[in-house]
Each structure stands twice: as structure tokens, then as C-alpha cells.
Structure 1
Amino acid sequence: MSAPTGFDVRAYMRDPLQVRPTDLDLPALGDLDPATLEALTRLEAAERALLHRMRDFLVTPTHAESRVTAFLTTWAYEQHWLVQTLGAVLAANGRAAGEDRATALGRLRRARDERLGPVLGAVSSNLLGADVTGAQMLTSRLDTAVLTESYRRLGAAEPRLTATAGAVVRLKERHLAFFTAEARARLAAGPGARRLARIAVSRWQWPGTRYAARRTRAHPAADPEVRAALLGLGPGLEGAAAPLRGTAGTRSVGTALTRIGRR
């Protein structure tokens, strides 16, 4: 059974934050520049990828964690409308939502993941037990943090999207608060959870990049300012719980960013 961590899940469920296509003046967004459209395309792909990842979590021991499953119910609702909104902005600019940029190898990998991933993940994680939830909360924290930073930069770069990006940041900050609190509590519980978390962070990838072509240009991780901001994400769990020191430090995050930068 999940233990309280300070994040009020019931209050969160009572008050979902919705970013819907009807909130935007879509005709006024119909001539966005190519760089902005590229950023939106990547964000839409990342948000869809997170929905699939959370689906896979629920075939692991995490499905028995009442706080997590309760949170994810509302999280999925918010995510659904965010994906729809990003897709609507892309459509207003003549781009298809859910554009598939996977390579041939990526498509094969995705087919394998969709068929076997949930089964293999369920078997391995169930053998590992409840400790796997801490690792999942930590990688979800990284996912959410990098996306939050991306929306902040999008809002600063395109004034017409400032209000929308700000609303998404507020939505993401609540997600970030939950994943941070859950990761702290679970990784402080024992060395097994921390060991799995180290492995998970070392394998972490930028959301939505698993099937994409290897391209460095225009990738957010190639921007020195973004990389500097993201390198500060690792130590964010330290201090609140002494046993977490080194679990998600800059070395693991830096290694992940270096690997992603080569894509």
C-alpha cells in the first residue's frame, strides 16, 4: 500500500488542469515558423510516448500502488488533452498530428516493444518486486522535468504561445511535485530501490526519441543552455533524504544527455 508523501492526491484529482484546443485561437497560430513547428512536433511525440510508457507501468507491481494509480488516472486525462491541443496547433499549420518520424529500424523496434515490451517488462519487474516503482517514479521525474524546461523555452521564443506554454508548465509542475515526492520516499526505503534507480537513470532516454532518426541538429539536448539546465536536474532529489546521494546525480544524467546528443 502506498504511504503518504506530502502530495495531496485527492486534491489533485478534484482539480485537473486542462489545456484544450478550444482554449487557443488556432487561426492566429496558423503561420508559426519552422523552428517552432519542429519544437511542437517533438513535444507532441514526447507526450504521446509518455502515455504509452505509463500504460506499461501498470502491468508491473506499480499497479498495486494506490496513490500512484489514483494519480495516473487524472494524469492520463490531462495528458490526453495536452496531446490533442499540440496536435491541433500542428494541424493549423498543415502538419499531421502524430507524425511518424521513425526510421526503418525504429519501426521494427516499436513493433517489438508493442508486442513484447509489456509482457517482458511485467515479468522482469514482478521478479524485482515493489522496488521497481521507485525507479519508475524517478525516470518519470526526469521525463517531466525536461518537458517542463522545453515548454518554458517555447513560450519565451514564441509570444503567441506564451500563455499556452505557461498553462502547460503549471500542469507539469504538479506532475513534477508528485514524481519527486514519490521518488524521494521510495528510494529512501532501501538499497534495492536505489540500485534499480541508478540502472534506470543510466538507461533513460529523452521522451519520444527511441524510434527516431539519429539527428543532432534541432534536438533540444544539442542546445548548450538546455543541456546546462538539465544537468541541474540530477541532484534535485538530494538533501531531502541522505541515502539518495549519487542515485540521480549529474553523472548519470550527463551520460544520458551525451548519448542523446549523438542522435
Structure 2
Amino acid sequence: MASSTVRTTPHPPGYVQGRQHSIAGRPLTLLTDFDVDAYNRNARGRITVDGAAVGPLAAAERDDLAFLWRLDSAAISEARAFLATWTGNEARVTAFVATWAYERLWLSYAVRDLLVADGSPLPEPLGRHTLRARLRDAYVERGLPLVAPIWTSIVGESVTAGHMARLAIQESSLQAAYRVLLPRLDGEAARVVSTIIERRDEMIRFFSMEASARITRSPQEARMAKLALHSGWKPLRIVGVADPDEPRAMASIFRTEGDRARLASADDGLRRLLAERPTGFRGAASPSPGLLARKDRHGIRA
């Protein structure tokens, strides 16, 4: 009887028992302690706003809320940007996002209801899109849907770590913005904004847990998270496109050192985690303190 020879091929660096992002004998899908099914079952609906109880909003508060309304209402753009990539293959992520997108929509509707409670039209953004922002917007609308699926299919599942890290920090940054704006509001406006702040907790928890689990399970995913959080990325921009009112709004919302420190702390947990990961990647080796609050002529930049 002819004997058979079993050939073995050494795995590339980072692989263990033929796997890079999972452990033999365990499910291939990454599972954290976050209960996605419960989140979807218990989805909260629209925040009711008593228009008659909304007092007059000062011009600055009105413009600041309008800026945040535009960011919250653009969740579908964020979702489209990453669901067109490898991340769209992640069942737990897509299941969560299906409800998250609606919850973000309800948050934006609540802010919109505050803005139009007195019968005024929605404020237009102050300022104009820069040439760079217009080019970025054109790329997001036309180029990204074509390019992202190709390069992320080559890189594979590790790109999800970057997406989860970005969304964790974006949600934390939006929560920080509403928190520092809250003391300038009263009555019904303060109640609605307090509810928006509270509803963000579960969103932040999911994205933070997903990002942390991926960053800690493989060097490649940590590298992709660091790459996603490069110094040019700003969390309070939708798919990287700056709002025309961004310079004024950032200086107005984050007025004090304490306000700016709250914004800067939005990425503290993930920044520390990434600093501890030996990835060998120097492109964003250790996001510098204050990554989200670099100062410019307006005093702060998102």
C-alpha cells in the first residue's frame, strides 16, 4: 500500500492553527457581551417634544443645535460608507446598525423639533463648503462606493476594527458636544437634550466593545484601527466632510478648557488600548493627547 505524505505549509506571521482573527473550536463571528437582540427589541422611538413648552432659543444656541442636528441626521451616510465595505459582512454589526440608524434619526428629529418649535425655518449652515470639502463630498458620493468594496475585500475583516473605533469616538464626541451645550439650555430644550445624551450610552457601549475586542485579538486589526484614527480624521465630520459651519460651531460649543477637555477625552479608552498594542505600525503609532481637540485660530478644531 502506498504511503501518503502529509504536507504542511507554515502559516504567515500572526496566524495560530490556521486562523488569524479567531480561535479553533470557537464561532467565527466575534461575540461580545453586548446583547444586540435585546437592543433591537427594546429600540426606543421618537422623542416627543412639547413645542409649546420650548422657550426662545438664543441665536448662538440655535446655531449650535442646528450644527449638531445636521451631524445626527446624517447617520445614513455614515452607515452607507462602511456597509459598502467588508464590514457589511459582519452580521452582528449590520443587525445593530439597522436599529442604530433609526435611533440616530429620532435624535435628529428631536433637535429639529426644538429648532422649529416657534415656527421658524431650520437655520441654514453659516459659512460655505471649502474646495477641499466639496472635493471630499464628491468622492464620498461617487468614488467611495466604487473604491471601498475593492480595497476592503483585499484587506479583509480587519477593516471593521477601524470602522468600530471611528463610530465609538464619533458617538462619544457627539455626546460630549450635547453635554457641554446642556447648561446653556433650560426647560423643554434641556429635557430633550438630556434624553439625547442618555440614549447615546448604549450606542457608545456597542461600538466601544466591538472596537476593543477586535483591537485586542490581533495585531492586524489594531493596525487598521490606528490607521482609521489618523491625525487627519475628525469625529465631528460626516464621512470626513466638514460642515460649512464647523469653525464657528466648534468654537461656540467648546468654549472653555473644560469643554475642550471633555471632547478630547472622547477617545481616551481606545487611545490607551491602541498605545498598548505592539503592531509595528508607525503611521498612527500612538494617537497624540488631544487628537480630537487640536487648536487652530478658532481655539479648537474637531
Task: Please say which of residues 91-100 and 41-50 is displaced more in the overlay.
Answer: 91-100
Show the 5 A alignment for 1:112-261: 112-160=139-187, 161-202=189-230, 203-208=232-237, 210-213=241-244, 216-219=247-250, 220-221=253-254, 223-237=256-270, 238=272, 243=277, 251=288, 254-258=290-294, 261=300
**Whole-angstrom distance in 2 between the partners of 1:227 and 1:244:** 30
After superposition, the Cα gap between the structure-2 partners of 1:214 and 1:75, relative to the gap in structure 1 and judged at 3 Å, is closer
TM-score (norm 1): 0.86
**1:23-66 superposed Cα distances (whole Å, 9 cap, x missing partner):** 11113326211121121111111113332011111111111111
SS at match of 1:258: coil
Show the 5 A alignment for 1:69-148: 69-93=94-118, 94-96=120-122, 102-103=128-129, 105=131, 106-148=133-175
Contact 2:128 2:245 in 1 (8 A): no
Contact 1:151 1:169 in 2 (8 A): yes
Contact 2:127 2:244 in 1 (8 A): yes
**Whole-angstrom distance in 1 between the partners of 2:45 and 2:209:** 23
Q: CA RMSD in A?
A: 3.0
**1:173-222 superposed Cα distances (whole Å, 9 cap, x missing partner):** 00000011101111112111111111211232132372334864441356
Structure index of larger Rg: 2
SS at match of 1:173: helix
Contact 2:75 2:105 in 1 (8 A): no
**Whole-angstrom distance in 2 between the partners of 1:142 and 1:255:** 11
**Whole-angstrom distance in 1 between the partners of 2:219 and 2:57:** 49
Question: Gaps spanning 5+ residues in structure 2: where?
Answer: 1-27
1:97 positional shift: 6.6
1:248 positional shift: 8.9
Contact 2:166 2:235 in 1 (8 A): no
**Whole-angstrom distance in 1 between the partners of 2:181 and 2:46:** 16
**Pairs aligned (count):** 260
Contact 2:215 2:221 in 1 (8 A): yes
Contact 1:214 1:262 in 2 (8 A): no
Question: Gaps spanning 5+ residues in structure 1: where?
Answer: none
**Whole-angstrom distance in 2 between the partners of 1:58 and 1:259:** 33
TM-score (norm 2): 0.75
Contact 1:144 1:172 in 2 (8 A): yes
- Identify the match of residue 88 of structure 2 among 63, 75, 85: 63
After superposition, the Cα gap between the structure-2 partners of 1:193 and 1:85, relative to the gap in structure 1 and judged at 3 Å, is same
| Larger helix percent | 1
SS at match of 1:17: coil
1:227 positional shift: 1.8
1:250 positional shift: 5.5
After superposition, the Cα gap between the structure-2 partners of 1:170 and 1:185, relative to the gap in structure 1 and judged at 3 Å, is same
Contact 2:125 2:245 in 1 (8 A): no
After superposition, the Cα gap between the structure-2 partners of 1:34 and 1:53, relative to the gap in structure 1 and judged at 3 Å, is same
After superposition, the Cα gap between the structure-2 partners of 1:242 and 1:258, relative to the gap in structure 1 and judged at 3 Å, is closer
**Whole-angstrom distance in 2 between the partners of 1:140 and 1:215:** 19
SS at match of 2:205: helix
Aligned to 1:48: 73
Aligned to 2:21: none
1:18 positional shift: 2.6
One-letter amino acid matched to 1:9: V
After superposition, the Cα gap between the structure-2 partners of 1:152 and 1:244, relative to the gap in structure 1 and judged at 3 Å, is farther
**1:134-160 superposed Cα distances (whole Å, 9 cap, x missing partner):** 010001011000111112223222012
After superposition, the Cα gap between the structure-2 partners of 1:109 and 1:69, relative to the gap in structure 1 and judged at 3 Å, is same
